[in-house]
Structure 1
Amino acid sequence: MDIQYTQRLDARRRALAQADRTHARISQLRLAIVAAGLATLWWTGPTSGWWLLPAALFAGVAVIHARLLGRADRIRSAIHFYEQGLARIRHEWIGHGRSGDAYRQADHLFADDLDLFGRGSLFELLATTRTRAGEETLARWLLAPAPHETARARQEAVRELATRLDLRETVAVIGDHVKVAVDAPLLRRWAASTVGLGRPAIRMAIGLLVVVTVTVFATWWQTGAFGTLALGLLIAQVLVAMAFRPRVIAVVEAVDEPAHDLDVLARLLQVIEQASFESTYLRQLQRTLGGDRTASSDIARLSRLVALLASRRNVLFAAPAAFLMWATQWAFAIDAWKRRVGSHVPHWLDAVGEFEAVLALAGFAAEHPACTFPDLVDGPPMLIAEQLAHATLGADAVPNDVALGGDAAHLVLVSGSNMSGKSTWMRTIGVAVVLARMGAPVRATRCRLSPLAIGAAIRVQDSLTDGRSRFFAEILRLKHIVDLARRERGAVLFLLDEILSGTNSHDRRIGAEAVVIGLVDTGALGIVTTHDLALVAVADRIGPHAINAHFDDRFTDGQLRFDYQLKPGIVETSNAIALMRSIGIDV
């Protein structure tokens, strides 16, 4: 994919250079036409009509120029698309995408622990969506694992779209690439609002009043007749406008912000409607957008109505707009649109959001061809992965195997020194489960898992505002994880880092042992890391379904060296004192 992206990027850059040259030539041509028009006007005078020829030519060239500028903008968006794709492939993407911090949820059972949001997060790696609906859907999928049946259907769709680079580029060049278009929550709320202007008959009557008024005024202007009638009709228009003014203002203000970037939404809907799909999941999304009229045509119509309404703000058109009751008429048209199709808008936004989320996962799959789609199986809790590495780390990430459930251990107690890779390994496993249950591939040579909910206590923090110490926050998290394991009847993966490190060693050993044994007794699977070698005895208490493993290090030539390889058994070394000495602390 690196080679394909590079080739397309070079081609788009050449196309942009050609477009820029053409733009310069057309700009010179327009200037020449203006000069010719002025010369013609000077030589022949305004009454001859010869100046209309260069004026018409200028208008035609302006249309062509506008199309060229639009094409150049799309080429720039394509260049940005491939540059960002290459940055992700080469692991140069961190800090250049969307962090997704707005989607963080306080006390979520694994989001912060697994770095799903924030700088360098899984969300930043995945979020290539064009609309807020797509972004929200992607965040929701990260936070809430899907049933295996849904995840399998998404897998099929992701596989299909991963090979559709042309389609992914087409979506990427819709609209401005520097922002996320279409505020879905605002559009949903507007579509569901009840502010209305009245029956269609009223709209027709107002339109008829304007037509009659314009006709009578034109007659009066030409002949001088019907002056009194014209004045009466104008007064009638003013009275009608005043009567409807509060409701018109409500409609206009309500639609103003939600209607931003509707053209982006319409074009994206059109891409989905017109594409040919094989997967059941994508074809179902298409059916959601179908009907007597397509979703794209309805959204495009709303975009045109809003644009016509906004034209009243043009200073040159303000007076005619008032005379034509412009705001009132187009407000009625927008209200009629909402009455007719407003109830469909949430379903359309859902379909767009899901399509974009699947497309984002497809981009991840295409850009990481070494990843594999996990085998999602039903049955007792189990997780098996070979050569599993963290999805957001670079090519130097060290893979490890994991086997939990079935004939393998249900609990792995991991000991090891500081910075040896214990927490990263837990996050690697957690992120893999999140990706698998989204319908995405995972960074492994082989993966197989049952439906597993995740409960993690890796990055639990105190809260000054809530008056909670770190220890109290941790035991609350542990209670939630235990409750989850009971509720899910053991279909849970728990990830506990340095469990109960905020208390004395005696209480820690007793409390940690009780929590871990209680979780295993529900049938849950888990990883527990510790520096306290007294806790590794928990494996003996549980029996054959628990094992000890460790990460270690070597201190050579004054430097700590890690291989990040998981090894069986209990760690036999520590590095705390060596680390302190390595930074100049006398110990």
Structure 2
Amino acid sequence: MVAERERVHVRLGNAKVAIFLGAIVYGAVTLGGDPSLTVWVALVAAYLALAVWHELTIRAMTRAEAAVRFYADGIARIEDRWVGTTGATGDRFRNSDHPYADDLDVFGRGSLFQLLSGARTPMGEARLASWLSSAGEPPAIRERHARIVGLRPRIDLRERIAVVNAGEHRRIEADRLIAWAEARSAVPRWVRPIAVLLALAFAATVVVVLFGGSALPMAFLAPIDLAVLWWLFKPANAVVDGLSSATESAGLDLLWRVIAEIERERFDDAALSALAARLNGGGNAAAASVGVARLARVSDWTDSRHNVFARLLEIPALFTLQVAFAAESWKARHGAQVRGWVDAVGEMEALLSIAGYAFEHPADPFPEFVEGGDAIFDGVDLAHPLIPAATAVANTVGLGPGHASVLIVSGSNMSGKSTLMRTVGLNTVLALAGAPVLASRLRLTPVSVGTCLRHTDSLREGRSGFYTEALRLRLVCDLLDSPRRVIFLFDELLSGTNSKDRRIAAEGLVRMLLARRAIGMITTHDLALTEIAAMFPGEVRNVHLQDHVEDGQMRFDYKIRDGIITHSNALELMRMIGLDV
């Protein structure tokens, strides 16, 4: 299909060039003669017809290319070739002070957000980012499950949204747009008829002058126009600038087309029907899309204020004032609906993103939530969602009732300790966002996630690596004051200090976390920390990951085992890369 349209595109382009050259030749041949009006009309008509046909072909070709790209991206995700090639990275949502997002690669290149997101609008991306950054309540998550199941097979809807204004991710600042739409009118509505009459009067005067009439009326109208502008330009400009600061016409054009595709869909599920009804108004099937399309036209006029033609019309046509009146009229009609529209389209796009992920991972189950009581995390065959399936190694991890509350994970370098913790963390994030998890089964309580996996020094902020880690631990411990239980993940705990202080501090930290009924994992190279398990029998358990040398190469199986690691590979690694130690 794409190749055929490409051929038509080339042929139409060549035909337009041929007609243009033909017009030049005909003009040259008939120069000084008596050219036929019929021939000129035929040439112009043919060129215009081809131009329209060509434009439609280009649009169809763009949509076809976008559809091909949509399925190619899906195949890339299924085949684990998606990193750096598909989806938005979500870099704008990164926050180094978040309790887990940076440590778990929730946002950024090769992130969980990039794997999941199929959103076309900023509000869809923002809603998905919100779900990945903050845990939902079990009833809300279960409702998401039902909606995701209903949306999972609707690949046609996801394709139609993907090809809308293909390749464009335009600016819409939802909070500013809502604030603008809900703001009180700044320009008196009763002035609008006067402004329209003044503009029409000036236009009529121009026509009179062109036909040889007097220009005296212009001298009468100009001071009135200037007086009106002097009175209302500031509030009118504020209205127009408020819209410009919130969005652009191209962003609104994308938004209304995405909404239109959602409005076209018919849902059997009551929850999805209720969500769609927030866009179609319940009775007017095109309420949201038509309303946003109208605002896109107003925004287009707003964007054109700075071109030369608009500046020439500023005084005679009261251009800025007319645009402000159009914007205020739109606000009066639709302003109260904008918040609901933004919320609904954001939620629908976030649901569609997770539904697409669920469609591409049909074997992945939804988690089971256990409400009330102590924190529990019981995952069977957990795998890391960002590691290719061919190389990911599944492990079973249990924390809480029926298991130890804290696992101390010892192991050699490169054995997979950090990856194991990210596997637990990312599956928890998926579960709390309402997505399927990469496991055979996962039972968990609604928890707050806190991590301390990456901690480096900062010359700019005057922080050592140890101090940065201590601040991070303080951030995680602050979560203990929230109503939810906490799951913590600490990598190479307190590695920036000596073994004696590390042992004392780690024991005190574990004691405090257990007293606050938290669950979690701690990795370490320092076997002194493994002694902590004996201080809290039944509550703290030692596990390890190991390696072995085979044919002169270090091998890892990345499987979790009971007990403490019995050897180290640091010296062997150094010797393997040529260091004589």
The 5 Å alignment of 1:285-434 reads 285-291=275-281, 294-310=287-303, 319=312, 323-380=316-373, 381-395=375-389, 396-434=391-429
Q: Which runs of 5+ in 1 are unaligned?
A: 1-14
2:96 matched residue in structure 1: 106
2:257 equivalent in structure 1: 267
1:64 is aligned to 53
- Residue of structure 1 equivalent to 2:228: 240
Seen in structure 2, the aligned counterparts of structure 1 residues 420 and 406 have a Cα distance that, compared at 3 Å, is same
1:20 equivalent in alignment to 2:6: yes
1:570 maps to 564
Q: Distance in 2 between matches of 1:319 and 1:47?
A: 38
Q: Using the TM superposition, give the Cα deviation of residue 186 of structure 1 relative to its aligned residue in structure 2, in angstroms.
A: 4.7
Identity of aligned residues (%): 40
Gaps of 5+ in 2: none
In the alignment, residue 78 of structure 2 is paired with which amino acid? I
Find the partner of 1:253 among 241, 252, 265.
Answer: 241
2:194 matches 1:205 = yes
**CA–CA distance in structure 1, aligned partners of residues 128 and 189 of structure 2:** 40
Conserved? CA contact 1:152–1:376, under 8 Å = no
C-alpha deviation, 1:439, in angstroms? 0.6
Distance 1:281 1:471, change over 3 A: farther
Contact residue 153 and residue 280 of structure 1 kept, 8 A: no
Conserved 8 A contact 2:378-2:397:
yes
CA distance in 2, matches of 1:327, 1:180: 24
Q: Structure 1 residues 99, 216: CA separation in 2 closer, same or farther (over 3 Å shift)? A: closer
CA distance in 2 between partners of 1:160 and 1:181 (Å): 30
The whole-number CA distance in structure 2 between the counterparts of 1:468 and 1:553 is 35
Give the conservation status (yes or no) of the 8 Å contact 2:91–2:108.
yes
- Cα distance in 2 for residues equivalent to 1:560 and 1:35: 71
Query: 1:17-96 residue pairs with structure 2 within 5 A?
Result: 17-34=3-20, 42=30, 48=37, 51-96=40-85
1:332-374 CA deviation, whole Å, 9 max, x = no partner? 2123223443343233222222222222212222222332221
Q: Which amino acid aligns with 2:274?
A: Q
Opposite residue 190 of structure 2, the aligned amino acid is A
| Secondary structure at the counterpart of residue 119 of structure 2 | coil
Quick one: distance in 1 between partners of 2:496 and 2:37? Answer: 93
Cα deviations by residue, 1:187-225 (Å, 9 ceiling, x for unpaired)? 34543566x55222211111122223434554565573x
Are 2:408 and 2:524, in contact at CA under 8 Å, matched by a contact in 1? yes
Distance 1:120 1:221 in 2: 65
Whether the 8 Å contact between 1:552 and 1:564 is mirrored in structure 2 is yes
Q: Please, which moves more after superposition, 372-381 or 281-290?
A: 281-290
Shift in Å, 1:169: 0.8
SS at match of 2:559: coil
Contact 2:233 2:320 (8 Å CA) reproduced: no
- The 2-side partners of 1:464 and 1:278 are apart by 58
CA distance in 2: counterparts of 1:321 and 1:36, whole angstroms: 42
Displacement after TM superposition at 1:53 (Å): 4.3
SS in 1 for 2:125: helix
Question: Matches of 2:466 and 2:270 in 1, distance apart?
Answer: 48
Please report how far the alpha carbon of residue 481 of structure 1 lies from its aligned counterpart in structure 2 after TM superposition. Answer: 2.9
Whether 1:125 and 2:125 are equivalent positions in the alignment is no
| 2:503 counterpart of 1:509 | yes
d(CA) in 1 for partners of 2:160 and 2:171? Answer: 15
Give the deviation of 1:239 after TM superposition.
3.9
- Are 2:470 and 1:484 aligned? no
* Partner SS for 2:548: strand
> Which letter does structure 2 place at the counterpart of 1:525?
I
Residue identity in the other structure for 2:137: P
Partner Cα distance (1:135, 1:275) in 2? 21
Q: Aligned AA for 1:112? A: D
1:170 aligns with 2:160: yes
For 1:306 and 1:548, locate their aligned partners in 2 and report how far apart those are by CA, in whole Å.
62
Contact 1:220 1:230 in 2 (8 A): no
Cα drift, residue 141 of structure 1:
1.6
Q: Structure 1 residues 59 and 552, CA, compared in 2 at 3 Å: closer, same or farther? A: same
State the Cα distance separating 1:299 from its structure 2 match.
0.8
- Any idea what SS the aligned residue of 2:99 has? coil
Give the Cα–Cα distance (whole angstroms) in 1 for the partners of residues 105 and 303 of structure 2.
Answer: 43
Superposed CA deviations along residues 228-286 of structure 1, whole A, max 9, x for unmatched, are: 44542354334434543334443443333522421100111112222122445433332
Q: Comparing 66-75 with 391-400, which one deviates more in the overlay?
A: 66-75
Q: Is the 8 A contact 2:171 2:248 kept in 1?
A: no
Match of 2:386, SS state, is coil
CA distance in 2, matches of 1:220, 1:534: 97
Shift of 1:106: 2.9
Moved more, 284-293 or 509-518: 284-293
Which has the higher mean CA deviation after the structures are superposed, 63-72 or 427-436?
63-72
Deviation by residue 1:472-522 (Cα, 9 ceiling, x = unmatched): 332333333334235336x22111222222222222212211211221232
Comparing 68-77 with 55-64, which one deviates more in the overlay? 55-64
Name the CA distance, whole Å, in 2 between partners of 1:183 and 1:397. Answer: 39
Distance 1:540 1:180, change over 3 A: farther
**Cα distance in 2, alignment partners of residues 221 and 178 from structure 1:** 45
C-alpha distance in 2, partners of 1:183/1:499?
Answer: 40
TM-score by length of 1: 0.89
Residue 71 to residue 186, structure 1, CA distance change in 2 (3 Å): farther
Give 3-state SS (helix, strand or coil) of 2:549's partner.
strand
Q: Which amino acid is the alignment partner of residue 276 of structure 1? A: R
The one of 111, 119, 124 aligned to 1:134 = 124
1:460 is paired with a residue of what secondary structure?
Answer: coil
Structure 2 counterpart of 1:115:
105
Q: Is the 8 A contact 1:509 1:534 kept in 2?
A: yes
Q: Is 1:276 aligned to 2:266, yes or no?
A: yes
Q: Which amino acid aligns with 2:323?
A: W
Q: Measured at CA, do residues 318 and 117 of structure 1 come closer, stay the same or move farther in structure 2, by a change above 3 Å? A: closer
Q: Quote the offset at 1:59 in angstroms.
A: 2.8
For 1:507 and 1:427, locate their aligned partners in 2 and report how far apart those are by CA, in whole Å: 27
**Is the CA contact (8 Å cut-off) linking 1:553 and 1:560 kept in structure 2?**
yes
For residues 487 and 250 of structure 1, the distance between their equivalents in structure 2, rounded to whole angstroms, comes to 42
Q: 1:51 is paired with a residue of what secondary structure?
A: helix
Preserved CA contact (<8 Å) 1:113 1:460: no
Q: Distance in 2 between matches of 1:474 and 1:310?
A: 48
Q: CA deviation at 1:581?
A: 1.3
SS in 1 for 2:488: strand
In structure 2, what is the Cα distance between the partners aligned to 1:235 and 1:56? 45
Across the aligned residues of Structure 1 and Structure 2, the Cα RMSD in angstroms comes to: 2.8
* Corresponding position of 2:535: 541
> Matched residues in 1 for 2:171 and 2:221: separation?
43
Is residue 154–residue 281 contact of structure 1 (8 Å, CA) maintained in 2? no
The one-letter code matched in structure 1 to 2:513 is L
Give the Cα–Cα distance (whole angstroms) in 2 for the partners of residues 542 and 526 of structure 1. 14
Q: Report if the CA contact (8 A) 2:425-2:449 is conserved.
A: yes
**Normalised by the size of structure 2, how large is the TM-score?**
0.89
Output the CA distance in 2 between the equivalents of 1:34 and 1:443.
60
